[in-house]
Amino acid sequence: MDGIRGDIVNTLRPSWLTSVPPEFGSASYGKLKADQWRVLGTTFLPVSLVRLWSVVEVGNPRSERCRQILDVTMSLLSAVAIACSRVTSKKHAELYSSNMHSYLSGLKGLFPEYSFRPNHHMALHLRDYLLLYGPVHSWWTFPFERLIGILQRISTNYKIGRFSNFFYSSI
Amino acid sequence: MIQNCEPIFRKFIDPQIRNTLLTDIVGFSGGALDSGDGEDLPPMALPVKSVSYLSESLKDCILKHLGYLPTSASTLSLLTVAGITYSVASKHSGNSCILLNLPSKTTSVPAQIEHIVQFASNNDISGVNTLVAVRRFKRLNNQSDPFSIYPLLQTQIWSRELGALELHPIGSIHCHFACSTMLWEGEQVMVMVSLSRVRPDFLSFQSS
């Protein structure tokens, strides 16, 4: 984790890129948001994991195991990258599907005792949605979730139909 | 009611908040408000400063690119194109790292913006040309690229060294990239991660 956090701090990036707190993963910081997970996975993790795990020390079981985990993780990150593309096509959908299947089968091979979650199953349907609805940013619900978050944080007087000046001053 | 909700929507696109959704909105509105080419360039004021204040390397570069030296020019520290801000390296190094589409190549190459120059167009006195003066990162000679087996992640290693100053039109800018350094096969290299919003279904980088 220290290696990944160090890479986050040392990476040069444009100002518009979603910021990922270097303290992520600590109990004190809390959870990352979806966009932060996406940026962590497609921008920071590939660099850190390849740097840490891509070179296999022959005869070192831990190093060989790390390399296997790296390849499985990179399948997942590739699937995320292709799924979030602003342009999609049948080939994008097939690439997504093959990477997601590769990730899930690799995960099962590395951790046979692990039980898949419903999200793993749902992720396999994304191929069909890419073909049916187009690029995900045109139909994902993040804009609405963000607006709901803003509305939830607004103080109200709980009196329907009676506006309070406090309502506007609290925004 | 809509007027009263203005603060809510203003907060919705708060420029202090950085995330993908916001840059999508800004990019869309930048394109929608524009006359058609999707670029919201700075006001087209004719440059009035003499080119004599430009550095010699930049003047040589302009001369080489245009074949003549304009009488007046101005420099910008940043430029916003389709909602994305590009800066010179001295202003914001992260915003200065760009991938360039070059006509001579089918692939994008990483470069760093050193200057943004505006000058009056030679054949249209009312028009202003805006160009970026960049230095391209050099390719590595012998190193194998550990990222080449994961092409969808659009990550590559390059030399940390920069090449000569060269001028390119704004339209050559493909996107930003994020970068860090790492030790690879005994050499400090630059790791470049493309931040293009479009993932091609084929490998589109210059192989290192």
C-beta of residue A100 within 8 angstroms of C-beta of residue A153: no
C-beta of residue A32 within 8 angstroms of C-beta of residue A19: no
Indicate if the pLDDT at residue B177 is higher than 80: yes
| Alpha carbons A157 and B105: distance in angstroms, whole number | 62
Q: Which of residues 72-111 of B touch A (CB under 8 A)?
A: 84-85, 92-95, 97
CA–chain centroid gap for B81, Å, is 9
Residue B29 — pLDDT band, cuts 50, 70, 90? low
Selection from B92, B76, B90 nearest residue B41 by Cα: B76
| Alpha carbons B74 and B117: distance in angstroms, whole number | 6
Contact of B179 with chain A, judged by CB distance below 8 Å, is answered with yes
Indicate if the pLDDT at residue B47 is higher than 60: no
The two three-digit tokens of residue B135, written as one number: 């230095």
DSSP A41: I
C-beta of residue B4 within 8 angstroms of C-beta of residue A168: yes
Indicate if the pLDDT at residue B32 is higher than 60: no
pLDDT of residue A79: 94
Q: In B58-107, at which residue ranges do the beta strands (DSSP E only) sit?
A: 73-76, 78-81, 84-87, 97-101
Q: Do B199 and A92 touch (CB under 8 A)?
A: yes
The two three-digit tokens of residue B203, written as one number: 């490998």
CATH T-level topology, domain B34-194: SH3 type barrels. (2.30.30)
Computed over every residue of chain B, the mean pLDDT equals 78
Which residues lie closer than 8 Å to A90 by C-beta, 6 or more apart? A131
- Tally of CA atoms within 13 A in the half-sphere of A30 that contains its CB: 2
Instruction: Supply the pTM of this predicted model.
Output: 0.78
Q: Write the burial class of residue A58 (CB in 10 Å: 0-12 exposed, 13-18 middle, 19+ buried).
A: exposed
Q: In B22-81, at which residue ranges do the beta strands (DSSP E only) sit?
A: 73-76, 78-81
Phi, psi values for residue B168, rounded to 5°: -140, 150
Which residues lie closer than 8 Å to B80 by C-beta, 6 or more apart? B30, B40, B41, B42, B86
From first CA to last CA, the distance across chain A in angstroms is: 37
Pairing verdict, β B84-87 and B128-137: unpaired
Phi, psi values for residue B97, rounded to 5°: -90, 115
C-beta of residue B128 within 8 angstroms of C-beta of residue B79: no
Q: Choose, out of A8, A9, A10, A17, the residue to mutate when testing the contact with B (most B CBs < 10 Å).
A: A17
- Helix residue ranges, H only, A40-88: 45-53, 61-83
Indicate if the pLDDT at residue B31 is higher than 70: no
pLDDT of residue B206: 43
| Alpha carbons A99 and A96: distance in angstroms, whole number | 5
Indicate if the pLDDT at residue A17 is higher than 70: yes
Q: In Å, how far is B82's CA from the nearest CA of chain A? A: 13
CB count within 10 Å of CB A47 equals: 26
Residues of B in contact with A35 (CB under 8 A): 19-21
Indicate the Cα dihedral angle B160, B166, B168, B174, nearest 10°: -10
Indicate if the pLDDT at residue B46 is higher than 60: no
Per-domain boundaries in chain B? 1-33, 34-194
CB count within 10 Å of CB B178 equals: 22
Q: In Å, how far is B28's CA from the nearest CA of chain A? A: 12
ipTM: 0.78
Residues of B in contact with A16 (CB under 8 A): 18, 22-23, 84-85, 176
DSSP B17: S
Instruction: Give the nearest partner residue to A50 out of B8, B146, B179, using CB atoms.
Output: B146
Instruction: Give the nearest partner residue to A7 out of B8, B94, B180, using CB atoms.
Output: B180
Indicate the Cα dihedral angle B179, B181, B182, B186, nearest 10°: 130
CA–chain centroid gap for A96, Å, is 14
DSSP B50: B
Tens of pLDDT, residue by residue over B63-104, are 888 888 888 888 888 988 877 889 999 999 999 999 998 887
